């Protein structure tokens, strides 16, 4: 009996040691009927992985297309995602420094120049990609505007320092290649794609105070997007799209941190306090008619929401500049409230047009929308993801990078997740604007991506 | 998860009780009555009793993320909540007793880099309750007893501050007082009943230590190492049980417990430095019931076998399921035996298996004051206990 008793604890302990982990049924994940063998991304700044005002190999690796490709690889897509990587150093990035205890952003000049490229022209980066263009899967080109999609020679260094040149497009292309972006995209043969255009137009408009190029008209936007999608979906003579993809719409002006910069009324108040002159007034030139620039300008007193552009921040007050009706701030020094209204109206219309496009029977249920307007609207109020808080405030919000327009790696991951969520929606033949592809692709853990270096 | 019963209760406080599914407030067999029912202590057969024992608990939890579909396993930990009881008659009717044990405890540890690292990496709560007790036999069939509880607690909380990839570690100790009182009665020799009330205990943590590591230099003024304050109230438990001796060999026991978890409303850490954001987390526990049934079979004078079954309701609401304590309602099966090694020594052993109901944590990203990670938890608990009783 005694021997038996000694056995009991021994037996029981060995039961404990081998007692297995509670099993949990394998989650059902799948990519539905999507052909993900060659996913290609098209777009501009954010698509390229542009962040903190520049582009580098590391930032490219954290672009949402690269994040998406990693998830697609779970379903048979190739493990490597070919991007036009920089072999050495990328382009200059902004850095965060501490100045008298307050955070200060440095090295923003290059980004400002890039947003004004359509006006001033830019030289070549002299950092050619040099790889096989046929293999490239990320055609994100920072600063690429909608009206430039069909511009020949946009990536030909013969055109450098002109409005018709984009140094980021040039570095992808072979030397002296005269093809337009659309022509290059047309030969990229995706089996699945994402497209996000319009951000460059918006960024340039805001940064230049609406003084560097115009926002595309609604009709122009529609035409360009249709041409692009005809191409990317390999639309057939019978009018039907053959390839599937996701189109991203645009967030709102209020989603950019710049919308919360001190406006000119606040700056005027501060100047009044500083100078002790309670009559000090800031004047600015504003177009009489936003849609007909030829009607000329009015010189008016600043109002709430008017904000300074990077140029205006350096010129205001210099020899009284902007402080009298005779010396008003110029159009390129201010983004005024009328321009903001115009921008908001246009962005809304672009989003309506995107909805119309995916409702078009040619593209219905072949091209779906990932709703960035909804996503950024939610982010604006703050979200929490696995215990980590995010919002759209500059620097600390964790979503926007230091340039206040492009995203941090975690912001990129949030966009990637939104695209996955859109794809995972069920297929809705009757309301294609809300349709997904019925996939069950897992999301990524946003917090796994690098945090903003504070 | 050390918590072996609902919330972070641990009910493995005696091997005989464990063998009978915890239905022990209307039974008196050894000095563990000091804990299970101070009233029953003075009803023990004459003699002095000492009991010691330990239960090896090995819980296993698996988490399936709703967002990323990845599976995380909680790190395997072995816990051994232990006890020491004594019962010493001081007069014909009065028995003095002592109970030292750990009726509450929690130990959850996830890999440092797991998906929910900014919600919780590790929580470790240990308690030690010391309870001197007096029991008075009022009549031959009815007795009452009470003890004063001095409780000591030791807590560790670790998590990442994901916004800045820094780490927070909070540690502290605190103590509090409570009481344990019970009545015990016999109706003829076959039927006995017991009612026990263990009070809540308030812990005030005044000088917890918060340590922040890997803080970016630009934020170091916001996260200096410092003291913090917190409070934790461990709940009261009311137990009502009865025991029926069916024949010379077989006895059946029933018990109902009500644990006042609703006192656990939130867990807050208030940092000394005003620049450091305080941490507030809603818990909103609900009072929870447990039902227990156990049986004992006296095979011979020297050998007894036991078996038990219990259902232990969770106090944690759906929307507060978190990796710190992915608790669920439990069904437990137990078995045990006692063997008299000699006139004085008796060996107890018990085995426990618990299946915790699957819990599904749902998150709402717009509720920024609730830190959680969405997914399913499944937990199994195995336990083996050994105890030794000495009568002299």
Look at residue B127 and tell me whether its pLDDT is greater than 90.
Answer: yes
Instruction: Tell me whether B62 touches chain A (CB under 8 Å).
Output: yes
Mean pLDDT of A49-69: 97
CATH topology of domain B15-391: Porin (2.40.160)
Domain range annotation of chain B: 15-391
User: Which residues share a beta bridge with B233?
Assistant: B202
Using CA coordinates, name the residue in chain B closest to A103.
Answer: B218
Q: Which residues of A touch B71 (CB under 8 A)?
A: 24
User: Which residues share a beta bridge with B298?
Assistant: B304
| Longest CA span, chain A | 110
Q: Which residues of A touch B334 (CB under 8 A)?
A: none
User: How sure is the predictor about A454, in pLDDT bands with cuts at 50, 70 and 90?
Assistant: low
Give the Cα-Cα-Cα angle A136, A140, A145 (nearest 5 degrees).
140
Q: Quick check: B386 and B19 in contact, CB under 8 A? A: no
In this prediction, residue A368 carries a pLDDT of 98
| Of A96, A398, A417, Cβ closest to residue B163 | A398
**Min Cα separation B260/chain A (Å):** 29
Distance from chain centroid for Cα B16: 17
The predicted-structure confidence for A418-434, as pLDDT tens digits, reads as follows: 999 999 999 999 999 99
Task: Name the token pair of B267.
Answer: 């867990």
In this prediction, residue A294 carries a pLDDT of 86
DSSP B232-270: EEEPPEEEEEEEEE-SSSEEEEEEEEEE-GGG--EEEEE
Instruction: Tell me whether A5 touches chain B (CB under 8 Å).
Output: yes
Instruction: Tell me whether A23 touches chain B (CB under 8 Å).
Output: yes
Instruction: Tell me whether B384 touches chain A (CB under 8 Å).
Output: yes
Look at residue A57 and tell me whether its pLDDT is greater than 70.
Answer: yes
- The residue with greater pLDDT, A254 or B9, is A254
Mean pLDDT of A163-168: 97
Tell how strand A192-196 and strand A244-248 pair up: parallel
In this prediction, residue A6 carries a pLDDT of 57
Q: Quick check: A9 and B384 in contact, CB under 8 A? A: yes
Q: Which residues of A touch B303 (CB under 8 A)?
A: 1
Instruction: Tell me whether B371 touches chain A (CB under 8 Å).
Output: yes
**Best CA proximity match to A390, nearest among B115, B213, B162:** B162
Look at residue A174 and tell me whether its pLDDT is greater than 70.
Answer: yes
Q: Is the ipTM of this complex over 0.95?
A: no
Decide which of 1.10.287.130, 3.40.228.10, 3.20.20.10, 3.40.50.1110 is the CATH code for A39-259+337-448: 3.40.50.1110
Mean pLDDT of B354-365: 93
Unique residue bearing structure tokens 């009549």: B139
Mean pLDDT of B242-265: 94
Q: Quick check: B14 and B32 in contact, CB under 8 A? A: yes
Q: In chain B, which among 161-180 make CB contacts under 8 A with chain A?
A: 162-165
Unique residue bearing structure tokens 């049986």: B295
**Min Cα separation A62/chain B (Å):** 17
Task: Name the token pair of B123.
Answer: 């929580």
Quick check: B163 and A451 CB within 8 A? yes
Q: SS3 breakdown of chain A: % helix, strand, coil, rounded to 5?
A: 40, 15, 45
Instruction: Give the Cβ contact number of residue A262 at 10 Å.
Output: 11
- Least confident segment among A279-288, B102-111, B112-121, B278-287: B278-287
d(Cα A251, Cα A372) in Å, to the nearest integer? 5
What is the rounded (10 degree) CA torsion for A354, A357, A359, A364?
Answer: -120
In this prediction, residue A9 carries a pLDDT of 53
Using CA coordinates, name the residue in chain A closest to B67.
Answer: A443
Name the average pLDDT for chain B: 93
CA A381, A51, A440, A33 dihedral sign is positive
Look at residue A2 and tell me whether its pLDDT is greater than 90.
Answer: no
User: Phi-psi bin for A197: left (phi > 0), alpha (psi -120 to 50), beta?
Assistant: beta
What CA–CA distances, in Å, run from B386 to B308, B344, B352?
Answer: 17, 17, 12
**Min Cα separation A254/chain B (Å):** 18
Instruction: Tell me whether A104 touches chain B (CB under 8 Å).
Output: no
Name the average pLDDT for chain A: 93
- Least confident segment among A62-71, B204-213, B214-223: B214-223
| Of A12, A442, A454, Cβ closest to residue B218 | A454
Mean pLDDT of A75-88: 94
**Best CA proximity match to B84, nearest among B55, B54, B40:** B54
Tell how strand A39-43 and strand A192-196 pair up: parallel
In this prediction, residue B222 carries a pLDDT of 87
Q: In chain B, which among 281-340 make CB contacts under 8 A with chain A?
A: 303, 337, 339
Tell how strand B226-234 and strand A138-140 pair up: unpaired
Helix H segments across chain B? Answer: 15-19, 33-36
Which residues have C-beta within 8 Å of that of residue B239, sequence separation ≥ 6?
A: B25, B36, B37, B194, B195, B196, B197, B198, B255, B256, B257
Residue B154, φ and ψ in degrees, nearest 5: -135, 125
d(Cα B317, Cα B9) in Å, to the nearest integer? 16
Look at residue A162 and tell me whether its pLDDT is greater than 60.
Answer: yes
- Least confident segment among B200-214, B274-288, B373-387: B274-288
Instruction: Give the Cβ contact number of residue B216 at 10 Å.
Output: 16
Mean pLDDT of A168-197: 97
Instruction: Give the Cβ contact number of residue A298 at 10 Å.
Output: 12
Look at residue A196 and tell me whether its pLDDT is greater than 70.
Answer: yes
% of residues, chain A, pLDDT over 90: 84
Instruction: Tell me whether A24 touches chain B (CB under 8 Å).
Output: yes
In this prediction, residue A19 carries a pLDDT of 57
Look at residue A375 and tell me whether its pLDDT is greater than 60.
Answer: yes
- The residue with greater pLDDT, A103 or B54, is B54
- Least confident segment among A8-22, A192-206, B38-52, B275-289: A8-22
Element (H, E) at A58: helix A57-61
- Least confident segment among A96-110, A296-310, A420-434: A96-110
User: Phi-psi bin for B55: left (phi > 0), alpha (psi -120 to 50), beta?
Assistant: beta
SS3 at position A405: coil
| Of A24, A381, A386, Cβ closest to residue B376 | A24
Mean pLDDT of B16-28: 95
SS3 at position B15: helix
Look at residue A404 and tell me whether its pLDDT is greater than 70.
Answer: yes
Look at residue A14 and tell me whether its pLDDT is greater than 80.
Answer: no
Using CA coordinates, name the residue in chain A closest to B220.
Answer: A454
Instruction: Tell me whether A27 touches chain B (CB under 8 Å).
Output: yes
In this prediction, residue B281 carries a pLDDT of 85
- Least confident segment among A78-82, A202-206, A292-296, A388-392: A292-296
Instruction: Give the Cβ contact number of residue B139 at 10 Å.
Output: 9
User: How sure is the predictor about B89, in pLDDT bands with cuts at 50, 70 and 90?
Assistant: very high
| Of B367, B372, B384, Cβ closest to residue A12 | B384
In this prediction, residue A402 carries a pLDDT of 94
| Longest CA span, chain B | 76
Which residues have C-beta within 8 Å of that of residue A29, sequence separation ≥ 6?
A: A74, A75, A440, A441, A442, B69
CA B222, B224, B229, B230 dihedral sign is positive
The predicted-structure confidence for A387-397, as pLDDT tens digits, reads as follows: 999 999 988 89
Look at residue A20 and tell me whether its pLDDT is greater than 90.
Answer: no
Task: Name the token pair of B62.
Answer: 């698996």
Instruction: Tell me whether B376 touches chain A (CB under 8 Å).
Output: yes
Task: Name the token pair of A375.
Answer: 């996503």
CA A44, A50, A51, A52 dihedral sign is negative
In this prediction, residue B304 carries a pLDDT of 97
Look at residue B30 and tell me whether its pLDDT is greater than 90.
Answer: yes
| Of A5, A22, A453, Cβ closest to residue B339 | A5
Domain range annotation of chain A: 39-259+337-448, 261-334
In this prediction, residue A23 carries a pLDDT of 83
Element (H, E) at A275: helix A264-275
User: Which residues share a beta bridge with A353?
Assistant: none
User: Which residues share a beta bridge with B58?
Assistant: B382
In this prediction, residue A184 carries a pLDDT of 97
Q: In chain A, which among 342-401 make CB contacts under 8 A with chain B?
A: 378, 381-389, 396, 398
Q: In chain B, which among 100-129 make CB contacts under 8 A with chain A?
A: 115-119
User: Which residues share a beta bridge with A315?
Assistant: none
d(Cα B63, Cα B378) in Å, to the nearest integer? 7
d(Cα A322, Cα A282) in Å, to the nearest integer? 5
Q: In chain B, which among 133-162 make CB contacts under 8 A with chain A?
A: 159-160, 162
Task: Name the token pair of B136.
Answer: 């008075």
Give the Cα-Cα-Cα angle A80, A82, A84 (nearest 5 degrees).
150
User: Which residues share a beta bridge with A246?
Assistant: A194, A368
User: How sure is the predictor about A15, in pLDDT bands with cuts at 50, 70 and 90?
Assistant: low
| Of A29, A388, A396, Cβ closest to residue B162 | A388
Instruction: Give the Cβ contact number of residue A97 at 10 Å.
Output: 12
Per-residue three-class SS string for A335-358: ECHHHHHHHHHHHHHHHHHHHHHH
Instruction: Tell me whether A445 touches chain B (CB under 8 Å).
Output: yes
What is the rounded (10 degree) CA torsion for A395, A397, A401, A402?
Answer: -20
Distance from chain centroid for Cα A297: 32
The predicted-structure confidence for A322-372, as pLDDT tens digits, reads as follows: 999 999 999 999 999 999 999 999 999 999 999 999 999 999 999 999 999
What CA–CA distances, in Å, run from A365 to A30, A228, A241, A362, A416?
Answer: 18, 17, 10, 9, 20
**Best CA proximity match to A206, nearest among A77, A78, A45, A80:** A45
């Amino acid at each position: 009996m005694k021997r038996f008793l000694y056995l009991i604890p021994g037996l029981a302990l060995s039961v404990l040691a081998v007692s297995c982990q509670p099993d949990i049924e394998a989650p059902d994940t799948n990519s539905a009927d999507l052909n993900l063998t060659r996913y290609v991304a098209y777009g501009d700044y954010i698509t390229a992985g542009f962040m903190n005002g520049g582009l580098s190999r590391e930032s490219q690796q954290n672009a949402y297309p690269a994040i998406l490709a990693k998830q697609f690889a779970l379903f048979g897509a190739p493990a490597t995602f070919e991007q036009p990587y920089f072999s050495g150093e990328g382009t200059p990035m902004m850095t965060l420094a501490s100045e008298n205890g307050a955070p200060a952003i440095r090295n923003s000049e290059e980004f400002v120049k890039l947003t004004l490229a359509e006006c001033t022209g830019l030289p070549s980066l002299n950092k050619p990609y040099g790889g096989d263009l046929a293999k490239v899967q990320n055609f994100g080109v920072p600063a690429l505007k909608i009206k430039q999609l069909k511009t020949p020679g946009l990536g030909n260094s013969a055109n450098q320092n002109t409005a018709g040149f984009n140094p980021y497009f040039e570095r992808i292309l072979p030397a002296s290649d005269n093809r337009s972006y659309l022509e290059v995209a047309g030969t990229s043969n995706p089996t699945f794609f994402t497209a996000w255009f319009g951000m460059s137009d918006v960024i340039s408009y805001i940064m230049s105070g609406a003084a560097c190029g115009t926002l595309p008209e609604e009709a122009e936007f529609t035409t360009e997007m249709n041409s692009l999608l005809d191409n990317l979906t390999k639309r057939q003579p019978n009018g039907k799209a053959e390839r599937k993809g996701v189109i991203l719409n645009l967030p709102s002006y209020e989603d950019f941190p710049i919308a919360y910069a001190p406006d000119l009324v606040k700056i005027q108040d501060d100047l009044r306090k500083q100078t002790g002159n309670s009559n000090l007034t800031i004047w600015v030139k504003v177009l009489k008619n936003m849609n007909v620039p030829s009607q000329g300008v009015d010189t008016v007193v600043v109002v709430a929401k008017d904000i300074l552009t990077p140029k205006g921040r350096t010129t205001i007050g210099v020899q009284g500049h902007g402080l009298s009706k005779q010396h008003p701030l110029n159009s390129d020094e201010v983004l005024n409230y009328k321009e903001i209204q115009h921008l908001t109206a246009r962005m809304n219309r672009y989003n309506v047009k995107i909805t119309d496009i995916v409702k078009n029977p040619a593209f219905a249920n072949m091209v779906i929308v990932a709703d960035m307007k909804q996503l950024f609207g939610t982010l604006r109020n703050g979200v929490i993801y696995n215990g980590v808080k995010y919002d759209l405030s500059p620097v600390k919000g964790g979503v926007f990078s230091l340039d206040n327009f492009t995203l941090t790696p975690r912001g990129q991951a949030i966009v990637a997740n939104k695209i996955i969520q859109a794809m995972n929606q069920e297929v809705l033949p009757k309301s294609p604007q809300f349709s997904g592809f019925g996939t069950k692709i897992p999301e990524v853990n946003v917090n796994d991506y690098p945090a903003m270096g504070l | 998860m050390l918590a072996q019963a609902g919330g972070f209760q641990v009910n493995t406080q005696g091997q005989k009780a464990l063998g009978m599914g915890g239905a022990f407030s209307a039974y008196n067999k050894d000095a563990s009555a000091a804990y299970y029912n101070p009233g029953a202590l003075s009803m023990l057969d004459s003699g002095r009793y000492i009991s010691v024992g330990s239960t090896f608990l090995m819980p296993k939890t698996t988490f399936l993320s709703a967002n990323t579909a990845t599976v995380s396993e909680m790190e395997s930990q072995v816990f051994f909540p232990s006890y020491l009881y004594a019962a010493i008659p001081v007069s014909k009717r009065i028995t003095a007793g002592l109970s030292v044990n750990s009726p509450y405890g929690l130990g959850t540890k996830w890999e440092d880099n797991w998906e929910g690292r900014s919600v919780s990496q590790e929580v470790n709560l240990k308690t030690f309750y010391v309870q001197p007790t007096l029991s008075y036999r009022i009549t031959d069939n009815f007795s009452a007893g009470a003890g004063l509880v001095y409780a000591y607690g030791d807590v560790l909380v670790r998590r990442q501050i994901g916004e800045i990839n820094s780490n927070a570690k909070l540690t502290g100790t605190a103590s509090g007082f409570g009481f344990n009182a019970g009545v015990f009665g016999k109706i003829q020799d076959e039927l006995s009943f017991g009612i026990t009330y263990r009070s809540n205990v308030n812990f005030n943590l005044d000088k917890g230590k918060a340590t922040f590591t890997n803080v970016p230099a630009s934020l170091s003024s916001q996260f200096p190492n410092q003291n913090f304050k917190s409070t934790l109230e461990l709940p009261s438990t009311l137990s009502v049980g009865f025991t029926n001796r069916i024949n010379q060999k077989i006895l059946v026991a029933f018990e109902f417990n009500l644990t006042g978890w609703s006192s656990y409303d939130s867990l807050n850490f208030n940092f000394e430095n005003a620049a450091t954001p305080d941490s507030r987390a809603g818990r909103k526990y609900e009072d929870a019931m447990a039902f227990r049934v156990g049986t004992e079979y006296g095979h011979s004078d020297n050998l007894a076998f036991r078996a038990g079954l219990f259902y232990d309701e969770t106090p944690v609401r759906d929307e507060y399921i978190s990796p710190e304590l992915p608790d669920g309602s439990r069904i437990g099966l137990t078995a045990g035996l006692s063997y008299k090694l000699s006139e004085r020594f008796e060996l107890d052993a018990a085995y426990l298996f618990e299946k915790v109901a699957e819990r599904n944590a749902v998150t709402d990203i717009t509720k920024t004051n609730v830190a959680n990670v969405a997914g399913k938890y499944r937990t199994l608990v195995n336990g083996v206990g050994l105890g030794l009783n000495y009568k002299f």
